[in-house]
Chain A
Amino acid sequence: MSKQLRKQSYRPITDGLAVSDVSHGFDDSDVLEAVSLSVQQGETLAVIGPSGTGKTTLLRLLALFDRPDAGTVQLHDDDLWALSERERLDTRRQIGMVFQEANLFDTTVRQNVSYGLRVRRSWRDRFKGWLPGVGSEETNPAITDALAVVGLADAAEQQASSLSGGEAQRVALARTLAYEPDYLLLDEPTSDLDPRNTALIEEAVDTTRAQGRGVVIATHDMHQAERIADRVAVMLDGRIIELGPTERVFDHPDDPRARKFIDGELVY
């Protein structure tokens, strides 16, 4: 265990969205081992590492998809899995996640982007929204604003199935931004995109961070991490082997394996 990891493991995490000493696995194989990190609002944390090293699993734990086998997931000091289901739902709704695939619903862009707003309404309000003359969530200006952030303000009435891969991914980001989560988790959001769409996503992420949201982005693109992250965590074999400000991690990593990975010498 590296010096850096030991330091993190015993550091109490008191604010932001965090995992503390988290271990998790599937079918008797360990994917994460004693991982601790946190992200604050207004900062972007990049999690980099080779494929299959546990980045997606880490993000899914932060998004409360799964309960960790050991350790805690915390938001502002609260152990989220110790909360009631209702409280955990409220917390979950402060966190948004965008996946490697856009996973859009087979409907219009507007209905896709309004989904997060719709599920936050009471059932009574949802039924009322069907009545003529009563405003539904689809008229919420947050939808247009979110689409504008990703450069698709004119695409609201298009069918999601008619979008290109890059546009679909931008809609996936917009539908998360529409409900204004405090924390945004991005799992390899640009791995299948061309440079232009990648740049648009990165720009939107930067805008989001500037608006005070905490962003965690899992990527194997080190240049992307260097461009947009305030801090970088390097993961290897389910452990965080390096964590710190972007410049230091890239220029002077403590762990020799992190150095090798950054230099492209660590082949998996």
Chain B
Amino acid sequence: MAGTVLFPTVETASGLLITDTVSPLLVEFPFEREYVLDTLYVSLYVSLLAVCFSTLFSLPVAMAVGFSEFPGKQFLVAVINTGMGFPSVVVGLLVLFTVSNQGPLGALGLVFTKEAMIMSQFVLATPVITGVSIAAVTSVEDGVRDAAYAMGGTRLDVALATIKEARYGIVTGVLAGLGRAISEVGSVLIVGGNIEGSTRTLTTAIQLETRQGRFELALLLGAILVALVLLINGVVLRLGGGRI
């Protein structure tokens, strides 16, 4: 509006225009922009890939466990459910041993790499996705599977029909796994080493910036992380209610 400046703007070094009223909060932001985006990218890259691999592993396991009866099934389900609350630092430690020079995967040189972080997040997300998917698959009534079979479905068709019926629960499990992976700090710190531009995630960056007294940046990273987790949980809640 000509002649009326409600929020006077200031041009920053990066050419970004920000208002005077909020500029004190973001005084370092133009400098940190690349840093924040890099950290966000590493977080999303590691967590999304880990959850993709975990889903590919978890779904067949959930189908096999949900569809069949075998000795020790209840014990296996109990182990999977226990895994949902497995301490992440212990997972980090185990993965670090696995990829260290003396470990079975030592030859691959994965210490302090994104791949090692993906492994640790895979271990953390898998029990969540598998456990919720088993519950979702077993909640599909036998009659639905019988109907798919009676209409000429193969075993694969019946499995796909069951997955489709359990889709809300399965997606809820995947998103819950993503929530666990992306908000995780202990294990990625141990196996990733928190190297800037390489293995630094939102959570490990927050931990570092807080220790260094850069609270504004830590808060900004925290706000991004909280927004991501809120978004994921919002989708989980909506799916849980079956409204999508």
Contacts and interface: CB of A to CB of B under 8 A. Distances in A.
Answer yes or no: do A and B interact.
yes
B196 interface: no
A145 interface: no
B161 interface: yes
Contacts of B164: 105, 107
Given A105-B161, A105-B164, A119-B157, A176 B143 contact: no
Interface string B111-155: 000000000000000000000000000000101101111111110
A116 B161 contact: no
Given A106-B165, A119-B157, A179 B151 contact: yes
Question: A interface, how many residues as a size bin?
Answer: 20 to 34
Contact of A105 (B144, B149, B152): B144
A214 interface: no
Contact of A65 (B149, B157, B161, B165): B149
Given A103-B141, A105-B161, A119-B157, A65 B146 contact: yes
A207 to B, nearest CB: 19
Given A105-B165, A119-B157, A176 B151 contact: yes
Contacts of B151: 96, 115-116, 119, 175-176, 179
Max chain B CB contacts within 10 Å: which of A63, A93, A103, A175?
A103
Interface string A237-249: 0000000000000
Contacts of A65: 146, 149-150
B160 to A, nearest CB: 9
Nearest to A93: B152
A96 B165 contact: no
Interface residues of B, number: 16
Contacts, number: 49
A230 to B, nearest CB: 23
Interface string A113-126: 00110011000000
A99 B152 contact: no
A226 interface: no
A107 B143 CA distance: 15
A99 B146 contact: yes
Nearest to B153: A119
Contacts of B149: 65
A35 interface: no
A101 interface: yes
A215 interface: no
B162 to A, nearest CB: 10
B129 to A, nearest CB: 21
A134 B79 CA distance: 47
Contact of A179 (B148, B152, B154): B152
B157 A103 contact: no
A103 B153 contact: no
A172 B165 CA distance: 16
A101 B141 CA distance: 11
Contacts of A115: 148, 151, 153, 161
Nearest to A181: B152
B152 A103 contact: no
Interface string A203-217: 000000000000000
A73 B150 CA distance: 16
Contact of B152 (A104, A107, A120): A120
Nearest to B165: A106
A81 B165 CA distance: 30
Interface string A66-106: 00000000000000000000000100110011010101111
14 contacts: A89-B154, A92-B152, A93-B152, A96-B151, A99-B150, A101-B141, A103-B141, A105-B147, A116-B151, A116-B152, A119-B153, A119-B157, A176-B150, A179-B151
